[in-house]
């Protein structure tokens, strides 16, 4: 059997067209392939008529050269493609772009100008057929011209398809300008080659240069996009909800792998959730999942989030509210987190958010109003999106109300645009205010039976671990599983606390004692875990566990595990940071199931209820937690290392980890001093040791920084008399309290500076020495790894106390310097070609003056004077273009010619005369 001959290799025209079609949406592909030039001209005529009726005429004559150039080009390339409809993929996009752009004058004017500029630079191929026959390399020039036209249209389509075009257009078109200019430059070079009858050598050089230019442009474009995306992310500075999500997903995977049974998947088959996830419009855009504390709502949220992320058909934003983290329980945190995630999923909109960051004058996004607007624009623009908020009840009442209000307003706006284009899922306890606000939402109330199978999977996994420890039989393990399941009453958290407590028993006798007296409810479950820690025969572990829980309980931001290690290493008695005090055991082994270490290293309490129960059960009263933190901070900041100026001595301190806790202590000691004294109201200090600890820490700190504390103004507030009496009316206590309250009351730039000058100076000295640590030699790499155990990997930190990057830091000096530039000159010109876009301005007043002087009329129509000049040309008479068929008169030559096209189309039955297009 004879083999088939190989298919001919597609030429450049076919490859470019195939690539263009692959980048189109299916609906666009179907629409464009049947569009004719006559249809396009009728559309142009209709637009012109509409503008005339509204008295908003524009110089649409700019389209004529492009249409003529494409017509003649089509006659040439049809020979090479051997098809006659190829230009449909020019007429179709052009028609759609014009119909879209007409809704806003500036975008329409910009589009007309773009077509005019393309026509001015487009090669005229007609009349050069002899050149093509003599030089086959000239065909490649035509191929590149064809590729440029298609490239322009695919880029323009993706800009003009935005629903919120008015908001996004300027930024997106400005971002496209560089690519557009490269297209024009390439067309101009092609025009020169054709007109000069270039030989094969010249064309060969052109193609090499073109390939090099395209590669360089692509590399620069990718780098620029990446840098701008990173800049926007740093500016938004959102809480990393993805870390919380990955932590939960990892826990689910471990349980599923251990039992070979997935957890939480049943929620995806719930009728209301299926409808909410489906393409069809659900009965409500909002679902409210409610259950008791610890019932596994967060697990279900993560299952739904993971499902949507894997489906990857619509953008999804999510937020895990956490009562113990100030950055995860406010409206601003929710807005920033959601916005950051959605921007990361909408690369095409990064230019807009980059411009907003540049213009904002904010180092990090702090304006709730601005953040609301930015997120609303995003959600209105996206065809369909999902928002998921877990643990809403963990936010304070005012913040909860604000989040619900924003969601309701946004859902209402989005529903008015397209029903259910935005869908929200909220998970919380059944609180009255939430119930009232979500009265119209679909409610799913979880009961014990709903989570029964998931509970079994989780308990089976933990019971297997207990079986391995105590060598129980399978029958004993099954009995343990069923007994704990019955006692749990649908609460995952209860099962976790109980099983963790059982797993931590030192011997079989203790296990049986605990097992046969399982707690009733969460309170008793917490109490058992706390009791086990409190009665740990290892005194050292008991003391460390209490210190860890105290510090986590009252910290003003989540402490990193390395920071906790540093705090534990502080020895106030010896006035040292002793690395031998660093824990060799995992903190979770010491504190049981009461804490978690999430990806990234932050240490958190297992649940929002943990903080409440730890205090209410009397294990660690609030005042004791605040005392523990204040005692550490004040003693630590009194160390000699903070007054040292010798470089060798400071380097030694750096390598011994002395400065590992300074970021937290310097930033927050002024929070903990008043918090401690406030928490002592109504508390009687029975033991002399507590009183001595307070007075000694305050005295030592005051002695170290007496000169600066003495200059503190008297506070308008009065320290509680009973508290002061218990502390022997210590003047040092009063001094630190006044300094702290006055500092916290500041609202100007002084809030960005360390309140104690000596401590600020210490930062200025020791931070640069850490940053300068070499990382090139083998020994240096080992040294760096050791230092990262103390200081993490981001050593280049902001010097402004209130800045997020004061403790978060940057990986390089370059990144930090860019951040400093934003601090010093926060207002930047959004014109990329303007030198001031790199320099910036120190105030809004300077920035506005620059715009008035250097960019007058920026943002207004670019062709206003061009149109006036065109309309006012001498020799052009009005209404002299009269149709010979129907005697209609037209003001412009373009209208007249398009009208004639319409008559011809009707005669040949190419197109029918739509009533709305009659003139």
pLDDT band at 51 (very low <50, low <70, confident <90, very high): confident
What value does the mean pLDDT take over residues 454-466? 87
Residue 868, φ and ψ in degrees, nearest 5: -60, -40
Helix (H, G, I), strand (E, B) or coil at 122: coil
pLDDT band at 493 (very low <50, low <70, confident <90, very high): confident
pLDDT band at 405 (very low <50, low <70, confident <90, very high): very high
- Residues contacting residue 27 through CB under 8 Å, at least 6 positions apart: none
Model pLDDT for residues 832-846, shown as the tens digit of each residue = 656 555 556 555 666
Helix (H) or strand (E) holding 444: strand 442-445
What value does the mean pLDDT take over residues 135-158? 88
Return left, alpha or beta for 558; rule: phi > 0 is left, psi -120 to 50 is alpha, else beta. beta
Most confident of 4-13, 91-100, 126-135: 91-100
| pLDDT of 860 strictly over 70 | no
Most confident of 309-323, 741-755, 800-814: 309-323
Other Cβ atoms within 10 Å of 833 Cβ, number:
9
What pLDDT, on a 0 to 100 scale, did the predictor assign at position 842? 55
Return the half-sphere exposure (C-beta side, CA atoms, 13 A cut-off) of residue 647.
5
What value does the mean pLDDT take over residues 23-27? 94
What pLDDT, on a 0 to 100 scale, did the predictor assign at position 781? 52
pLDDT band at 778 (very low <50, low <70, confident <90, very high): very low
Looking at every residue in the chain, the average pLDDT score rounds to 85
Model pLDDT for residues 585-618, shown as the tens digit of each residue = 888 888 888 898 888 889 999 888 888 889 988 8
- Residues contacting residue 30 through CB under 8 Å, at least 6 positions apart: none
Helix (H, G, I), strand (E, B) or coil at 602: strand
What pLDDT, on a 0 to 100 scale, did the predictor assign at position 193? 85
- Residues contacting residue 429 through CB under 8 Å, at least 6 positions apart: 290, 291, 292, 293, 393
Contact 593/610 with Cβ under 8 angstroms?
A: no
Stated pTM of the model: 0.79
CA distance 603 to 587: 9
- Over its C-alpha atoms, the chain yields an Rg (Å, rounded) of 35
What pLDDT, on a 0 to 100 scale, did the predictor assign at position 167? 94
What pLDDT, on a 0 to 100 scale, did the predictor assign at position 888? 57
What pLDDT, on a 0 to 100 scale, did the predictor assign at position 904? 67
What value does the mean pLDDT take over residues 20-38? 93
Contact 752/800 with Cβ under 8 angstroms?
A: yes
Instruction: Name the least confident of 122-131, 414-423, 817-826, 908-917.
Output: 908-917
Model pLDDT for residues 622-646, shown as the tens digit of each residue = 999 999 999 999 999 999 999 988 9
What value does the mean pLDDT take over residues 532-557? 90
CA distance 106 to 862: 8
What value does the mean pLDDT take over residues 788-809? 90
pLDDT band at 134 (very low <50, low <70, confident <90, very high): low
Largest CA distance in the chain: 110
What pLDDT, on a 0 to 100 scale, did the predictor assign at position 55? 80
Contact 319/281 with Cβ under 8 angstroms?
A: no
pLDDT band at 352 (very low <50, low <70, confident <90, very high): very high
**Strand ranges (E), 470-578:** 570-571, 576-577
Helix (H) or strand (E) holding 672: helix 662-679
CB-count burial class (<10 Å; 0-12, 13-18, 19+) for 471: exposed
| pLDDT of 875 strictly over 50 | no
Instruction: Name the least confident of 98-112, 241-255, 541-555, 556-570.
Output: 241-255
What pLDDT, on a 0 to 100 scale, did the predictor assign at position 868? 37
* DSSP bridge partners of 858: none
| pLDDT of 563 strictly over 80 | yes
CA distance 235 to 246: 23
What pLDDT, on a 0 to 100 scale, did the predictor assign at position 878? 39
What pLDDT, on a 0 to 100 scale, did the predictor assign at position 721? 84
Contact 104/162 with Cβ under 8 angstroms?
A: no
Residue percentage of the chain with pLDDT more than 70: 85
- Residues contacting residue 369 through CB under 8 Å, at least 6 positions apart: none
Model pLDDT for residues 169-202, shown as the tens digit of each residue = 999 999 999 899 999 999 999 888 888 877 778 8
| pLDDT of 673 strictly over 60 | yes
What pLDDT, on a 0 to 100 scale, did the predictor assign at position 188? 93
pLDDT band at 649 (very low <50, low <70, confident <90, very high): very high
| pLDDT of 907 strictly over 90 | no
**Strand ranges (E), 495-639:** 570-571, 576-577, 595-597, 603-605
pLDDT band at 728 (very low <50, low <70, confident <90, very high): confident
What pLDDT, on a 0 to 100 scale, did the predictor assign at position 149? 95
Residue percentage of the chain with pLDDT more than 90: 47
- Of 211, 238, 420, the C-alpha closest to 333 is 238
Instruction: Name the least confident of 129-138, 266-275, 694-703, 799-808.
Output: 129-138
| pLDDT of 856 strictly over 70 | no
| pLDDT of 116 strictly over 80 | yes
What pLDDT, on a 0 to 100 scale, did the predictor assign at position 825? 63
């Amino acid at each position: 059997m004879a083999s088939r001959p190989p298919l001919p290799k597609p030429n450049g025209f076919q490859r470019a067209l195939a690539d263009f079609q692959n980048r189109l949406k299916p609906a666009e592909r179907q629409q464009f392939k049947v569009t004719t030039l006559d249809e396009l001209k009728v559309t142009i005529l209709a637009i012109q008529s509409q503008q005339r009726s509204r008295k908003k005429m524009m110089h649409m004559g700019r389209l004529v050269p492009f249409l003529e150039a494409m017509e003649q080009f089509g006659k040439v390339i049809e020979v090479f493609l051997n098809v006659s409809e190829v230009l449909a993929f020019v007429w179709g996009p052009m028609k759609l772009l014009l119909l879209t752009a007409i809704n806003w004058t500036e975008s329409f004017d910009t589009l007309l100008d773009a077509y005019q500029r393309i026509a001015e630079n487009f090669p005229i191929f007609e009349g050069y057929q002899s050149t093509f026959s003599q030089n086959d390399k000239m065909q490649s020039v035509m191929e590149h011209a064809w590729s440029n036209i298609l490239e322009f249209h695919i880029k323009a389509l993706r800009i003009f398809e935005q629903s919120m075009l008015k908001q996004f257009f300027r930024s997106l078109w400005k971002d496209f300008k560089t690519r557009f200019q490269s297209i024009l430059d390439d067309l101009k070079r092609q025009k020169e080659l054709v007109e000069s009858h270039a030989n094969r050598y010249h064309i060969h050089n052109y193609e090499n240069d073109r390939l090099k230019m395209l590669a360089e442009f692509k590399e620069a474009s990718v780098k620029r996009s990446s840098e701008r995306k990173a800049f926007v992310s740093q500016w938004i500075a959102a809480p990393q909800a993805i870390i919380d999500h990955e932590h939960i997903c990892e826990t689910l995977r471990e349980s599923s792998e251990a039992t070979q049974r997935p957890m939480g998947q049943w929620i995806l088959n719930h009728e209301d959730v299926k409808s909410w996830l489906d393409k069809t419009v659900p009965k409500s855009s909002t679902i409210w999942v409610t259950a008791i504390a610890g019932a596994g709502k967060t697990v279900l949220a993560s299952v739904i989030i993971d499902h949507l992320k894997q489906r990857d058909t619509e953008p999804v934003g999510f937020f895990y509210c956490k009562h113990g983290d100030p950055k995860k329980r406010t409206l601003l945190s929710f807005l920033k987190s959601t916005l950051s995630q959605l921007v990361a999923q909408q690369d095409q909109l990064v230019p807009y958010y980059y411009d907003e960051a540049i213009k904002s004058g904010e180092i990090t996004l702090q304006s709730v109003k601005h953040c609301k607007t930015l997120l609303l624009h995003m959600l209105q623009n996206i065809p369909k999106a999902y928002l998921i908020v877990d643990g809403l009840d963990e936010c304070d009442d005012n913040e909860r109300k604000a989040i619900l209000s924003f969601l309701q307003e946004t859902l209402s706006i989005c529903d008015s645009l397209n029903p259910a284009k935005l869908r929200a899922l909220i998970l919380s306890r059944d609180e009255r205010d939430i119930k009232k606000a979500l009265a119209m939402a679909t409610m799913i109330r979880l009961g014990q039976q709903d989570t029964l199978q998931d509970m079994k999977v989780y308990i089976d996994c933990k019971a297997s671990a207990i079986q391995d420890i105590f060598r129980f039989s399978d029958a004993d393990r099954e009995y343990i599983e069923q007994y704990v399941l019955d006692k749990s009453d649908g609460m995952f958290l209860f099962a976790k606390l109980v099983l963790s407590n059982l797993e931590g028993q030192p011997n079989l006798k203790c296990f049986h004692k605990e097992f046969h007296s399982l707690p009733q409810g969460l309170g008793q479950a917490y109490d058992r875990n706390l009791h086990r820690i409190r009665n740990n025969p290892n005194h050292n572990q008991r003391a460390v566990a209490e210190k860890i829980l105290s510090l986590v309980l009252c910290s003003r931001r989540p402490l990193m595990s390395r920071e906790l290690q540093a705090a534990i290493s502080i020895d106030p008695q010896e006035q040292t940071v002793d690395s031998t005090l660093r824990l060799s055991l995992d903190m979770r082994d010491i504190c049981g199931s009461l804490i978690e270490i999430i990806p990234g290293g932050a240490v958190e309490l297992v649940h929002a209820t943990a903080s409440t129960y730890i205090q209410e059960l009397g294990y660690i009263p609030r005042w004791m937690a605040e005392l523990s933190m204040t005692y550490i901070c004040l003693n630590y900041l009194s160390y000699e290392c903070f007054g040292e100026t010798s470089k060798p001595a400071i380097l030694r301190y750096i390598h011994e980890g002395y400065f590992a806790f300074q970021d937290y202590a310097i930033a927050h000691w002024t929070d903990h001093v008043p918090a401690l004294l406030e928490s002592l109201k109504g508390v009687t200090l029975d033991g002399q040791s507590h009183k001595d600890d307070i007075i000694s820490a305050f005295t030592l700190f005051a002695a170290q920084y007496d000169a600066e504390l003495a200059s503190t103004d008297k506070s308008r507030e009065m320290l509680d008399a009973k508290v002061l009496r218990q502390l022997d009316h210590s003047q040092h206590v009063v001094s630190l309290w006044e300094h702290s309250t006055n500092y916290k009351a500041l609202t100007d730039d002084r809030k960005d500076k360390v309140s104690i000058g000596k401590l600020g100076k210490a930062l200025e000295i020791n931070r640069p020495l850490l940053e300068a640590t070499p990382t090139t030699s083998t020994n240096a790499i080992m040294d760096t790894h050791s230092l990262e155990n103390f200081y993490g990997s981001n050593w280049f930190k902001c010097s402004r106390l209130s800045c997020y990057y004061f403790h978060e830091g940057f990986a390089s000096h370059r990144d930090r310097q860019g951040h400093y530039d934003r601090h010093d000159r926060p207002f930047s010109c959004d014109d990329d070609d303007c030198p001031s876009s790199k320099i910036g301005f120190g105030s809004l007043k300077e920035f506005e003056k620059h715009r008035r002087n250097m960019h007058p009329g920026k943002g207004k129509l670019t062709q206003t004077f061009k149109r006036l000049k065109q309309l006012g040309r001498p020799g052009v008479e009005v209404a002299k273009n009269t149709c010979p068929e129907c005697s209609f008169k037209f003001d412009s030559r373009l209208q007249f010619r398009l009208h004639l096209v319409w008559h011809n189309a009707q005669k040949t039955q190419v197109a029918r005369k739509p009533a709305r297009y009659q003139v």
